[in-house]
Amino acid sequence: MAMSSFFDYPSDDDQAVGQDDLIFLPNWPESRWKKLLVYTTTIRFAPGDILIKSGDQNKSFFIITEGELEVVLPANRNQKNDRKITREAGSVIGEQAFIDGKPRSATVKASSAGSALKLSEVGFDEISAREPEIARELLMDIARLLSIKLRHANDHIYRITK
Amino acid sequence: MDNLPVFPNYIQLRSQSRIPVSVWHAIRIGSVISVFALIATLFIWPDVGLKIFWGMIIPILPALFLIAPGIWRNVCPVAAINQTPRLFSFSKEFKLPPVLVEYSYVIGFSLFFSIASSRKWLFNESGVATGILILAILLVAFGGGIVFKGKSGWCGSFCPMLPIERMYNQTPFLTVANSHCSVCVGCTKNCYDFNPKVGNLADLYDDDTYFSNYRRFFMGTFPGFILGFFLVPNPPEISILAMYVQLISFMLGSAGLFFVLDSFLKVSSFKITTVFGGMSIFLFYWFIVPLALTDFVASESIQLFVWGARAALLSLLIWWVQRSYFREKQFIGQIRPSSETRLSAGIASALKDATSDQDKVEITFNTPDPQRFMVDSGRSLLETAERNNIPVEPGCRMGVCGADPIVVLDGIENLSEMGDDERDTLERLGHGGNCRMACMARAKGAVNVSFDMALADDVVPTDGESVYDESVENVVIIGNGIAGVTAADYVRRNHPECKIDIIGRESHQHYNRMGISRLIYGQSAMKGLYLKEDDWFDGKNINFWLNTIVSQIDHDTKEITLATNETLGYDRLILATGSQSFVPPIDGFGLTGTYVLREADDAINIRAFAQTHQCKSAVVAGGGLLGLEAAYALHKLGMKVTVLERGKHLLTRQLDPKGGALLKNYLESLGLNILVGVECQSAEGNDRLERVALNDGKMLKSDILLVAAGIRPNLNLAEEIGLEIERGIVVSDTMQTSDPNIYAAGDVCQYDGKVYGLWAVAVEQAKTAAINAIGGDYQYVESAPSTTLKIVGVDLTSIGRFMGGEDGDREIAFEDESSNRYKKLVINEGVIVGAILLGYPLITPAVNQAIKSGRDISDMLEALENGEWDCLQS
């Protein structure tokens, strides 16, 4: 629950994984990640490069391995300015469009030089055929993460609406 | 107060506190002594005691709660008494029973209302009663401290002042850290002492609506209570009962107003409770200020001071409300759950290390935003683009069809060398020195490329002396496929003057026939499949006839007649009529829902049919290249697809049984259903296809039947005029037919006993036919045919005599069953004569090159036997 964190003891063990934490494939050993890497492409970016463009339609997600990117969410009716969120190495982005194939909701722009791993639909099809176990675990985990996000979103809506 | 979060907890606050806990202990000893002194005073000199307690201490508390509530939490004598058992470790530390946890707040505010309202007839006047009251509270708090853990025995639960503190202390101007709890024992929900700035917000936003409604009720009622307290006459002016009834009606009125506002105002409850809290303080001091000031200020100027104090208070409260609203916004921002997905610690850096740049090259696509990829050295530009959703329309993947030209902006020297096929294609397309075909160009170093052909260099005209026969004035080409268009191009290149007519039966401009399966699942229809700009033929002065059928050829008068009855005379005629799909005898073929796939219109019709009838399943008869590509296309469209292969394995013309089995595994894992050794016997259904019957008696439910059983040359015209024909039009090595004025090229012709039906062959034959037709001299040289399967992820290439088994053949083969990969070489007398590469795109060009060049690889045999095939690249 998001609220309880206000009343939690600050922990030294920041990496402790809770059930509701959005950690991608928390139990995968390095060997499994390396198998996945065969089917990803490494993308390099320089400050200002656009990794994802709002409105684009392609099924792929990215794992940032180096550097920092800015997620720019389009302004809504009440907000004059775009909202910005920062994502840095270790962050996974774009997994929602990877599943539903809908147009990208935000533009992701590099704010520093860095690199990311991209898994496209084609790459995923190939893993499914060559390493079905990896593909199944990957898919189940993305589904789990999206489900947690949905729960969080529902809780949040419940809290802020009367 | 640097580096603190917006809502710091007491440990974080304490780390920044300037007052040590020991000082607080000392102050508390003082406050406990004072409270006993006060009680004594109340008993001995009630007037003085009452004045001090009700007249001075109590009126100060709301202001203290508002400004620096933490001070009172630390110095309150009742709290000090309550915490004594804990401090000296004689507390039993029981958990508060659930029913008391549920109602402690209700008990607290009930106590408050009872005590405060009883001031009006009892406590205000009676020092003894007040003294006993304080003593009783101290006793109960002490008892609570002995029995219950932490502050749950009084301070965090039943304390009658707690609801008021909560209401006023939500946005303190001065935050003071809790000095009681050395270790939090988790005794109280949403504990103010743990996180002072968030307690009230957390209460009101709590998921448990009973929990938050108790708080709403109290805060909604409180301004009414205060108003009633000051406005309702004190007994004995009215009876005690009347006083309580009136007071309660003030409270209910206030609560009623609150719930009306809460129901109708489109704001959070917190916004309303904050205003009600502010109102309570304001009302309290509105009445207190004049009373207090009379003791200190001369009566003539009192009004000025009273109104001044009220105005100052109002400003302070408005500021306080604003601060509270801002705090609420921050709070909502923090309770919004994080939507960030992350890797567990360590994995991110491990991944970074694992993806080091060693053996990688950087390919930048300007699309138009630059996208830069690090790929294995030797990857083709096309593969990289396809894998990364960069829009590209591949064709033959052999550099001959011209579907994927690309402009190299930087690093052209870092690309693999250009072969003859590719050079010819670029020349045909009219693209200059900075261009490559994406399928052929493999990156060995950093390159920067763009698909925007406007950036291409202009072609530098070659000064080659073209040899041509001036007496040839009219060239007619029948067929607008790759053979026909290539022939027209080479006629024009070598003969700047003659009239060229090219006659196409289809209604489309020259397009990428190898891409038509994409028409089935892709959304861009013909866009991207056209291989020539609209004005290309005009620019070359080539007269193009679309949607036109040639009805007959008169080779005596050298004239052709169109089905429109127009006639065209020729000096040379080039037949490039191509081929059509062969359909073996299948009962019921022709029923709606049965198709072949040869032309763009076939694919367009299949897509339309699949949509109109919401087709769910399809059967593809034929497990050759086209059949598999079509099956994959239907699969991508979302259908359940079954492939029927008559032979013992897939791709009998490209694979041996082992390779066929591995490919079958792979395609089945992609989701295709593959049956080998069976044939389609009949198509059944009423208005449209419903079932497909197989020769083994099985029946497959299906909406679509697509037959891909091979091709047959279109020989009608040639037959009519009696050209020499076997399986195709027989041609010499100049592509001349048995009529010296008629040449043939592509799928329709038969050279050295073979009819290929391959693009690369058609291009070479068309070039040969064109040059020779206008008087040049050019011999056709047959090369080992190379074919690829265009299903993403398959990476299959089959070259030459891949089956082996002839005298002196030596085979080297490796298979990787777990990942369905297979590689095989057939070597004869030290030369590689055939190969199968399934899942090895990086070594494909080297193997291809070794076969084409026919070089001796005897010295590499040992390495090849050990699976070290990289040596071929040297």
- Tokens 């009973």: give the residue: B210
- Going from the N-terminus, what domains does chain A have, and what CATH number goes with each? 26-160 (2.60.120.10)
Q: What is the pLDDT of residue B539?
A: 83
The better pLDDT of the pair B466, B123 is held by B123
In angstroms, what separates the C-alpha of A82 from chain B's closest C-alpha?
16
Assign A76 a pLDDT band (cuts: 50, 70, 90): low
Contacts of A84 in chain B (CB under 8 A): none
Who contacts B68 (Cβ-Cβ below 8 Å, separation ≥6)? B172, B173, B174, B175, B176
In angstroms, what separates the C-alpha of B718 from chain A's closest C-alpha?
45
Q: At what angle do helices B77-87 and B21-44 cross, to 10 degrees?
A: 120
- Whether the CB of B819 is below 8 Å from some CB of chain A: the reply is yes
Strand ranges in A47-148 using DSSP code E only, listed in sequence order: 50-52, 60-66, 68-73, 83-88, 91-93, 107-110, 114-120
Q: What is the pLDDT of residue B393?
A: 82
Residue of A nearest to B792 (CA): A122
Contact between B530 and B429 under an 8 Å Cβ cutoff? The reply is no
Number of cross-chain residue pairs from A and B with Cβ atoms under 8 Å apart: 175
Angle (CA) B88 B90 B96, round 5°: 120
Contact A30 B350 (CB under 8 A): yes
Which of B335, B347, B388 lies at the smallest CB-CB distance from A2? B335
* B106, two tokens: 């209700």
Contact B372 A126 (CB under 8 A): no
Which of A3, A130, A162 lies at the smallest CB-CB distance from B820? A130
B583-709 has the same fold as B474-580+713-773 = yes
- Whether the CB of B792 is below 8 Å from some CB of chain A: the reply is yes
Pinpoint the alpha helices (H) of B16-168: 21-44, 46-52, 58-67, 69-75, 77-87, 98-118, 127-147, 162-168
Question: A9-42: per-residue pLDDT in tens?
Answer: 654 444 344 455 788 998 898 888 988 988 888 8
Strands B831-838 and B796-800: antiparallel
- Tokens 């009606």: give the residue: B249
- Tokens 């909560």: give the residue: B166
Helix (H) or strand (E) holding B682: strand B680-684
β-bridge partners, B617: B640
Residue of B nearest to A120 (CA): B388
* Residues above pLDDT 70, as percent of chain B: 98
Contact B352 A115 (CB under 8 A): yes
DSSP state of A45: E
SS (HEC) of B712-726: EECCHHHHHCCCCEC
Pick from B845, B68, B861, B127: nearest CA to B418: B845
User: Rounded to a whole number, what is the distance in angstroms from the first to the last CA of chain A?
Assistant: 19
Strands A114-120 and A60-66: antiparallel
Contact A9 B268 (CB under 8 A): no
Question: B343-373: per-residue pLDDT in tens?
Answer: 887 787 788 777 777 778 999 999 878 889 9
Q: What span, in angstroms and rounded, lies between the C-alpha atoms of B532 and B538? A: 11
Assign B126 a pLDDT band (cuts: 50, 70, 90): very high
Q: What is the pLDDT of residue B348?
A: 78
Contacts of B387 in chain A (CB under 8 A): 41, 120, 122-123
Candidate from B283-287, B305-309, B412-416, B430-434 with smallest mean pLDDT: B430-434
Contact A41 B388 (CB under 8 A): yes
Question: B535-591: per-residue pLDDT in tens?
Answer: 788 888 899 898 999 999 998 999 999 999 999 999 999 999 999 999 999 999 999
The better pLDDT of the pair B74, A11 is held by B74
Question: B734-781: per-residue pLDDT in tens?
Answer: 999 999 999 999 999 999 998 888 888 898 899 999 999 998 899 998
CATH architecture of structural domain B795-873: 2-Layer Sandwich (3.30)
β-bridge partners, B362: B374
List C-alpha distances in Å: A134 to A60, A130, A137, B148, B794.
16, 9, 5, 53, 19
Contacts of B190 in chain A (CB under 8 A): 6-7
Which of A42, A93, A128 lies at the smallest CB-CB distance from B669? A128
List C-alpha distances in Å: B440 to B183, B201, B378, B595.
70, 65, 10, 33
Contacts of B202 in chain A (CB under 8 A): 3, 6-7
Residue of B nearest to A21 (CA): B341
* A106, two tokens: 């935000």
* Average pLDDT estimate for B126-138: 95
Q: What span, in angstroms and rounded, lies between the C-alpha atoms of A69 and A86? A: 6
Assign B337 a pLDDT band (cuts: 50, 70, 90): low
Angle (CA) B537 B539 B543, round 5°: 40
Angle (CA) A104 A106 A107, round 5°: 105
Contact between B757 and B366 under an 8 Å Cβ cutoff? The reply is no
Q: What span, in angstroms and rounded, lies between the C-alpha atoms of B59 and B49? A: 14
* Average pLDDT estimate for B241-270: 94
Q: How many CA atoms lie within 13 A of B33 on its CB side?
A: 6
Which CATH homologous superfamily contains domain B583-709?
FAD/NAD(P)-binding domain (3.50.50.60)
Assign B3 a pLDDT band (cuts: 50, 70, 90): low
Q: What is the pLDDT of residue B389?
A: 79
Q: What span, in angstroms and rounded, lies between the C-alpha atoms of B672 and B631? A: 8
* Average pLDDT estimate for A96-113: 90
Contact A15 B344 (CB under 8 A): yes
Q: What span, in angstroms and rounded, lies between the C-alpha atoms of B452 and B448? A: 12
Query: Taking the alpha carbons of B734, B737, B740, B746 in that order, is the dihedral positive or negative?
Result: negative
Contacts of A46 in chain B (CB under 8 A): 372
Contacts of A90 in chain B (CB under 8 A): 342-343, 345, 347-348
pLDDT of B785 higher than 90: no
Contact B351 A65 (CB under 8 A): yes
Contact A2 B373 (CB under 8 A): no
Contacts of B670 in chain A (CB under 8 A): 125, 128-129
Contact A49 B269 (CB under 8 A): no
Q: What span, in angstroms and rounded, lies between the C-alpha atoms of B431 and B451? A: 12
The type of residue at B838 is L
Contact A129 B371 (CB under 8 A): no
Residue of A nearest to B331 (CA): A3
- Buried b / exposed e over B659-689, threshold 16 CB at 10 Å, is bbbbbbbbbebbebbbbbebbbbbbbbeeeb
* B626, two tokens: 């086209």
Phi then psi for A42, rounded to 5 degrees? -85, 125
Which of B198, B339, B793 lies at the smallest CB-CB distance from A129? B793
Question: B140-178: per-residue pLDDT in tens?
Answer: 999 999 999 999 999 999 999 999 998 998 888 888 888
* Average pLDDT estimate for B451-473: 77
Contact between B202 and B190 under an 8 Å Cβ cutoff? The reply is yes
Contacts of A44 in chain B (CB under 8 A): 362, 372-374
In angstroms, what separates the C-alpha of A110 from chain B's closest C-alpha?
12
Strand ranges in B615-735 using DSSP code E only, listed in sequence order: 617-621, 640-645, 673-676, 680-684, 691-694, 699-701, 704-707, 711-713, 729-730
Residue A47: other Cβ atoms inside 10 A: 14
DSSP state of B415: B
Q: What span, in angstroms and rounded, lies between the C-alpha atoms of B230 and B288? A: 9
The type of residue at B281 is I
Phi then psi for B539, rounded to 5 degrees? -60, -30
- Whether the CB of B820 is below 8 Å from some CB of chain A: the reply is yes
Per-chain mean pLDDT for chain B: 90
CATH class of B354-455: alpha beta
- Whether the CB of B848 is below 8 Å from some CB of chain A: the reply is no
Phi then psi for B779, rounded to 5 degrees? -100, 140
Q: What span, in angstroms and rounded, lies between the C-alpha atoms of B433 and B709? A: 41
* Residues above pLDDT 90, as percent of chain B: 59
Q: What span, in angstroms and rounded, lies between the C-alpha atoms of B293 and B290? A: 5
pLDDT of B703 higher than 60: yes
Which CATH homologous superfamily contains domain B474-580+713-773?
FAD/NAD(P)-binding domain (3.50.50.60)
Q: What span, in angstroms and rounded, lies between the C-alpha atoms of B70 and B64? A: 9
Instruction: Note the residue count of chain A.
Output: 162
- Whether the CB of B190 is below 8 Å from some CB of chain A: the reply is yes
pTM value is 0.67
The DSSP annotation for B228-268 comes to HHHHSPPTTSS-HHHHHHHHHHHHHHHHHHHHHHHHHSSS-
Pick from B469, B388, B326: nearest CA to B777: B469
* B573, two tokens: 């005629």
The type of residue at B459 is V
Ordered by start, the domain boundaries in chain B are 1-172, 354-455, 474-580+713-773, 583-709, 795-873
The better pLDDT of the pair B139, B867 is held by B139
- Tokens 């100049």: give the residue: B734
Burial of B33 (0-12, 13-18, 19+ CB in 10 A): exposed
Contact between B140 and B100 under an 8 Å Cβ cutoff? The reply is no
Contacts of A130 in chain B (CB under 8 A): 666, 669, 793, 819-820
